[in-house]
A and B are shown apart, each in its own frame.
Chain A
Amino acid sequence: MGATRTLLLCLALGGGLWAAFVAPAQAGERVASLNLCADELLLRLADRADVASVTWLARDPRGSTVADLARDVPVNRGLAEEVAAEKPDLVLTGAFTTRTTTSMLRRLNVPVMELNVPQSLDEAYAQIKAVAARLGVPQRGTRMIADMKQAIATLPPATGPAPTALVLRPNGFTAGRGSLADEILTRAGLDNLAARLSPDRLGQLTLEEILAAKPDLLIINGADDAPPSLADDLLHHPALAPYAAQGRLVSLPPRLWACAGPQLAEAAKRLAAARLRIAP
């Protein structure tokens, strides 16, 4: 008898917790975001009136794909004080950014939803679904996912052997095995050389190693209008000039495949188009 009661209590408590976890936002719930990827999902999915604030990064068109949506939304700089003062009903954070602020908000009993960095398209779809559900707009999430799947399914079909490709990011980082970028390359019909060269997801390569790998296509993962830095300087090194001269260099802004969202399909489209150019 006692055991049954304990069990029932546990079930009730557990059910209650579960309900609290998935409880969708009600109308008028205000949501803040502390991470650029979360900003993009929040601005795309939620009603404008429900957005308490997004990061200041969301307004910079160089890094953000939602700069126009963020123009008239309040912005924060990821500090606990400013976000807590907005008294949001939910805060979206990234798993690797503003850790101190996130733990401070938890101590203040502000509900926090933490977003991981997706490592595959499936993880990206799952994240969109989870955020849309939490924001109380599951149908908008479903539509976004369906559009992305549709765009990726209608990419030009790959014929013949896949051309090899290598991603070059600022400071010589690449997109290695098991990363979201790796999967997008594969979907676009390209063979990611870094998956063989670099042991981890974000391997760092020297220019000499990149040239020696002889990729058919070099994907420069930097914005053309990036402000000057040594990290970006590397992307314009004269040793890479033959790739540009032979039309085997494609520039892809990092904002297109850093976060879960419809821009991932855009990245796949551009890469598939580049593949068609070099291997028609």
Chain B
Amino acid sequence: MMRLSLLLALLTLALMAASVALGPVPFDLTAAIGDLFAGRPTLEALVLAELRIPRAVLGAAVGFSLGLTGAALQGLMRNPLADPGVVGVSGAAALGAVLAFYFGWSSVFALALPLGGLVGAGLSTALLLVLARRGASTATLILAGVALNSLAGALTALALNLAPSPYAALEVVFWLMGSLSERSFQHVALALPFMAIGWGLVLATGRAMDALTLGEDTAQSLGFSLRRTRLLVVGGAAACVGASVAVTGAIGFVGLVVPHLLRPLVGHRPGRLLLVSGLAGAALTLGADILVRLIPTRPELKLGVVTALIGAPVFLLLLRRLRLDGE
């Protein structure tokens, strides 16, 4: 487990380095890093500091958030198909962020952007947990997610069409597919604190998650409060997914694929799964973001296109396996 975490952390760091090295304009990276640290305002230092590093940091942080939240939702709902994208949490976060951004609230008060995403993500997570508590089956929960996703998508499109900017309606692709293109340190500064709080809240549920696999009653008799665990996951998911989506749009399937790949490697223990899922989510997102820059399309391919190309077939395979298990 320690070795796996270390390995994934190293992979994430290597991919961040690759992400920083990759860009439309090739230049001498070591000289640029030298300029940056010496405070010389060269073009290379500027590109590095304002474009490439924010992109790599944001890719890692958003991927970590999505992987972590996916693992936490799957553990808490004991539902293998739970993922912030599939169950509509990302969609609702996008709606919140769109309302905050296009109607001028975030230009008056910058934090309105991540807070808008947070409110959307929080409301939808809470709604899903209520459904899950009422003993809804895997299928019901996923169908509720589909409904929530469609509703959030439709309301996002409506909001964008009502927005005063003539460009807004065309930008629905960004919010539904996600992208790390031309983001800045302002976006990192806005989102990272919320994400870090979210990570802390979700990671704190690790031991309770493990206990939950023994059943709710056993977990409670072991001294774990189910209410507290739920609140931590709802709060944590809202903070990390809400802030992520607010600055990069809804990037799908990361939280679905990653926990499934790693589950056998951590002995199927949902508590241990959390951290490694976060790290692998960061690696997957960074890898996908490197791929969109290598595929020569103009304008750049949206990140969600690549993650969906990887994630949707995995989703189908999972559905098939679940049916074989007789669920």
Contact = CB atoms under 8 A, between A and B. Distances in A.
B249 to A, nearest CB: 9
Given A208-B25, A209-B25, A237-B50, A227 B182 contact: no
Interface in A56-90: 63
Interface string A211-232: 1101000000000001111111
B99 to A, nearest CB: 11
Nearest to B113: A228
Interface string A184-207: 000000000000000000001011
B106 interface: yes
A238 interface: yes
Nearest to A237: B184
B315 interface: no
A234 interface: yes
Interface string B89-103: 000000000000111
Contact of B167 (A63, A206, A214, A230): A230
Interface of chain B, helix or strand or loop or mixed? loop
B107 A228 contact: yes
A238 B185 contact: yes
B51 A207 contact: yes
Interface string B1-25: 0000000000000000000000111
B47 interface: yes
A214 B46 contact: no
B43 A206 contact: no
Contacts of A172: 182, 299
B102 A227 contact: yes
Given A172-B182, A209-B25, A204 B299 contact: yes
A8 interface: no
B163 A238 contact: no
Contacts of A212: 25, 27, 43, 47
B171 interface: yes
Given A212-B43, A214-B43, A239-B46, A207 B182 contact: yes
Interface in B158-190: 163-168, 170-171, 174, 181-182, 184-186
Given A206-B182, A212-B47, A228 B165 contact: yes
Contacts of B25: 208-209, 211-212
A212 B181 CA distance: 17
B295 to A, nearest CB: 14
Contacts, number: 75
Contacts of B171: 229-231
Interface string B185-207: 11000000000000000000000
Interface string B287-327: 00000000000111000000000000000000000000000
B182 A237 contact: yes
A239 B165 contact: no
Nearest to A57: B166
A230 B24 CA distance: 21
Interface string A226-251: 11111110100111001000000000
B135 interface: no
Given A171-B167, A242-B41, A211 B182 contact: no
A102 B27 CA distance: 51
A229 B167 CA distance: 6
Contacts of B168: 227, 229
B51 A227 contact: no
Contacts of A227: 102, 104, 163-165, 168
B190 to A, nearest CB: 13
A239 B47 contact: yes
Given A228-B107, A238-B186, 18 more contacts: A204-B299, A206-B24, A206-B300, A207-B51, A208-B25, A208-B51, A209-B24, A211-B43, A211-B46, A212-B27, A226-B165, A228-B103, A229-B165, A229-B171, A230-B174, A231-B171, A232-B165, A242-B46
